[in-house]
Structure 1
Amino acid sequence: MTQAYSHAFLKAMPKADLHLHLDGSLRPAGLIEMAKRSKVELPSYTVEGLYDLVFKESYQSLGEYLNGFQYTCAVLRDMENLEQAAYELAQDNLAEGVIYIEVRFAPQLMMDPARGIDFDTVMHRVNRGLARAKAEYNNQSDVLAGTRPPFDYGIINCAMRMFGKKGFSPYYTHLFQMLRDHEPKQVIKTAAMEMIRASVRLRDEEGLPIVGLDIAGQEMGYPAHEFKEVYEFAHQNFMLKTVHAGEAYGAESIFEALTLCYADRLGHGYSLFSPEMIQDPRITDKEEYAQRLASFIADRRIAIEVCMTSNLQTNPAIGSAQNHNFKHMYHNRIATVICTDNRLVSRTTVTQEYELALSAVEIPLKRLKDIVAYGFKKNFFAGDYLAKRAYAKQVLQYFDRVAEEHGVS
């Protein structure tokens, strides 16, 4: 039997979060403060009211889950708010022992051409907030002495699978007006290609730690293969890649992410072990297909970014953590990284996500350390490979010390 791990140990052990949406992870009090400053109307101006009306413990559907983003994105189009949100997000993670984060968001949701807020401005403000938190933490005496690992981060830029002609953001509205004679999907792909080209430019010319590409938004009707050229450009320019795949669509979407989009990691990947979700009529033996794909992923150590609370909220049919497919990922020895997805929208922390995973599967300390290690070995670290290895080694040595201090063996 696996020993019980205390909340104090799980909070103190070094952790990473590789699937962390900036616009879904604001402090509720921070959102209220930003909304007042920017004159953005909210349904409530108390934390309790926002929890009751918007950011709930459970949701009826994915649509209800996504409702809160209209408020967070609105306040983040103020660049002071955007920088503050990035800074506070790093602080909140550090407060619970999360020392490496990859913050993802769609920059084009924050851009506003009429106000002069372009891609570069958005990226620099996010980076400035994260860099300030990093400098403050890493200048502490025990970090400088090497007795505690430093904090680091990367930024993953998201292209959107779909957006409407009006309302998604001023940038997208403007783009549809500029390209009014194009088919909607051509406009969407044009925006995605502009985003990845700008990301590579800022990484290479200005040294911003933009470490990866993601594609987010509704899976159904907007398959990843439609963005193959975008992912090819990233691939050819040494930009690492993750894909929201297998969150709300069958395992064939995961296969597509791996084979057509060169995915280095998978976001969610829940449907890998739900063969009943496969819709491709060419796949006749769904069980065999799912198992072969799982073996392929495990053999190549492709990590899955697991977000259990989010999955339970957006797919109420799962029911409980014990029914979540994490247990199948674990037993099939797939590299899994425990992540939050959206700290505010899901009202969760990395520590809580570990507690949820441990409530579903008995995990001995050695395997728990493996899961922690995946967050540092499978990340998209901004430095070179040797620096990444050295950082991971330092973190895992610290894990051992924390375990010993908490009497975990």
Structure 2
Amino acid sequence: MSSAYTPEFLKAMPKADLHLHLDGSLRPQGLIEMAQRSGIELPSYTVAGLYDLVFKESYQNLGEYLNGFQYTCAVLRDMENLEQAAYELAQDNIAEGVVYIEVRFAPQLMMDPARGIDFDRVMHTTNAGLKRAKDEYNAQPEVVSGAKPPFDYGIINCAMRMFGKKGFSPYYTQLFAMLRDHEPKQVIKTAAMEMIRASVRLRDEEGLPIVGLDIAGQEMGYPAHDFKEVYEYAHQNFLLKTVHAGEAYGAESIFEAITQCYADRLGHGYSLFSPEMIQDAAITDKEDYAKRLASYIADRRIAIEVCITSNLQTNPDIADVHNHNFIHMFNNRLATVICTDNRLVSRTTVTREYELALSAVDVPLKRLKDMVAYGFKKNFFAGDYVSKRAYAKQVLEYFDKVAAQHGYK
């Protein structure tokens, strides 16, 4: 990788990560410690062993990529581990100049009703870890004086597109048993609606910074429109929306996310510039459809959460960053936010993702600042709009300061 900017500058400049899965972003050594503490069996108890067997540089397919989540989710059902993971995730981001994160996960994957681990406890525990890291960093003299922007965060709760009767989590297993006479799809939708109602309640009644709704899991066979009512509830309660769309399915899934689910942002959005991935037989001119949709998204400033390494690992057809559709997103002036997806599973950082993006496209400093700005202008900030604007302004002024210090003007 090479770009016009030094790794030192890219690490020092203020950044945001808006597509960051908690259960895919544990420290490898932290995972080992948590597993040993909780009696969870791992394929290896060394970092090198986990990298060799589970969290690889590259994967054969999406199934292999997702394999590691069985271990991370298992340890995160211990609330001590969950709090530690949230705390360490915030710390790791702060250490590389990331001053705003939106941490997403499916709370129901961590719930275990038989052990008293309900939705509220999972959410309060996660928030406690993130808040501890925030409070520690923001108490530093440089932050208190305003010389550096403070660290902040929001939590995005994910509904699952699909889950089985057994094995996904104790909560899902129990729900299927309770609703045994329901169609599986109805059980899945019931879980999603329960999750969004509880999210709004905790935000409004207890002040937790739950800022958005996402839907995650396999796109193929589980269209976003199945969850339209869930997204309508979020929409009607002023909860912002993102959708995993266009990761492994055609551009029609992106259109559906916008029109059926009121998406404020798009997770991945890769297939937008891959018309050959369109499968809807009613779309006869695929090139024109993709072109018009891209123009619409650009005009509406619907931000795309770009996760380059993750896409390279789960889509072997891309092969190289120079084949990634980020190039087309950039050339078509879309609002793109550089994100990690999963820091552990993809073995990456926000700095590394910027290095990848900038190695593929020649980005002038002004456009780089725009890319950074999208992370703060398109985030789902927990405060009001005036506070969000003031925070973004402070961050971008700091960007100018760091750029000048590194010789970029």
Partner in structure 2 of residue 390 of structure 1: 390
Name 2:333's counterpart in structure 1: 333
Aligned counterparts of 1:340 and 1:95: Cα–Cα separation in 2: 15
Could you tell me how far apart the structure 2 residues matched to 1:371 and 1:216 are?
25
CA contact (8 A) 2:3 2:355 kept: no
Alpha-carbon displacement from aligned partner over 1:203-223 (angstroms, at most 9, x marks no partner): 000000000000000000000
In 2: Cα distance, 1:303 partner to 1:139 partner: 32
Equivalent residue number for residue 259 of structure 1: 259
2:53 pairs with 1:60 = no
Q: What RMSD, in angstroms, separates the aligned Cα atoms of the two structures?
A: 0.7
Residue 281 of structure 1, CA deviation? 0.3
Q: What code does the residue aligned with 1:303 have?
A: A
Q: Secondary structure at the match of 2:373?
A: helix
Which residue in 2 is equivalent to 1:180? 180
The answer to whether the 8 Å contact 2:267/2:304 transfers is yes
Distance in 2 of aligned mates of 1:48 and 1:305: 30
- Equivalent in the alignment of 2:279: 279
**Preserved CA contact (<8 Å) 1:193 1:230:** yes
Residue 233 of structure 1 corresponds to 233
Describe the SS at the equivalent of 1:40: coil
Structure 2 residue 287 is the aligned partner of structure 1 residue 292 = no
Distance 1:139 1:208 in 2: 21
What is the letter of the counterpart of residue 136 of structure 2? E
Q: What CA distance in whole angstroms lies between the structure 1 residues aligned with 2:371 and 2:4? A: 16
Q: Which residue of 2 aligns with 1:90?
A: 90
- Whether the aligned pair in 1 keeps the contact of 2:19 and 2:339 (CA below 8 Å) is yes
- Give distance in 2, aligned partners of 1:18 and 1:308: 14
Give the Cα–Cα distance (whole angstroms) in 2 for the partners of residues 359 and 144 of structure 1. 36
Which residue does the alignment assign to 1:109? 109
DSSP-derived class of the 2:266 partner: strand
Q: Summarize the alignment of residues 359-374 of structure 1 with structure 2, pairs less than 5 Å apart.
A: 359-374=359-374
State how 1:164-243 maps to structure 2 within 5 Å: 164-243=164-243
Q: Counterparts of 2:44 and 2:91 in 1: how far apart (Å)?
A: 25
Q: Offset at 1:263?
A: 0.1
Deviation at 1:3, TM superposition (A): 7.0
Amino acid at match of 2:299: D
Shift of 1:391: 0.1
- The equivalent of 1:161 in structure 2 is 161
Distance of 1:41 and 1:323 partners within structure 2:
39
User: Runs of 4 or more off by more than 3 Å in structure 1?
Assistant: none
Deviation string 1:276-312 (CA, Å, 9 cap, x unpaired) is 0000000000000000000000000000000000000
Secondary structure of the structure 1 residue equivalent to 2:379: coil
Structure 2 portions without partners, runs of 5+: none
Structure 1: where are the runs of 5+ without partners? none
Please report the TM-score for the alignment, with normalisation by the length of structure 2.
0.99
Shift in Å, 1:119: 0.1
Q: Give the Cα–Cα distance (whole angstroms) in 2 for the partners of residues 346 and 33 of structure 1.
A: 20
% identity of equivalent residues? 85
Displacement of 1:4 in angstroms is 1.4
Contact 1:162 1:188 in 2 (8 A): yes
**1:258 & 1:134 partners in 2: Cα distance?**
33
Aligned equivalents of 1:75 and 1:155: distance in 2? 20
Separation of aligned partners in 2, 1:59 and 1:95: 28
How far apart are residue 408 of structure 1 and its match?
1.1
Amino acid at match of 1:29: Q
Cα separation, 1, equivalents of 2:184 and 2:350: 37
Q: How is 1:66-145 mapped onto 2 (pairs within 5 angstroms)?
A: 66-145=66-145
1:316 Cα deviation after fit:
1.0
CA distance in 2, matches of 1:154, 1:320: 32
What's the TM-score, normalizing by structure 1? 0.99
**C-alpha separation between the residues in 1 aligned to 2:396 and 2:79?**
37
CA offsets 1:114-142 (integer angstroms, 9 cap, x no match): 00100000000000000000000000001
Residue identity matched to 2:403 = A
Contact 2:106/2:159 (<8 A) preserved: yes
Contact 2:377 2:389 (C-alpha < 8 Å) held by counterparts = yes
1:45: which partner in 2?
A: 45
Contact map agreement 1:159 1:214 (CA 8 A) in 2: yes
The residue identity in structure 2 corresponding to 1:342 is N
- Kindly indicate whether the alpha-carbon contact (under 8 Å) linking 2:160 and 2:217 is maintained by their aligned counterparts in 1: yes
Q: Which amino acid aligns with 2:184?
A: P
1:295-334 superposed matches below 5 A: 295-334=295-334
Contact preservation (8 Å) 1:3, 1:364: no
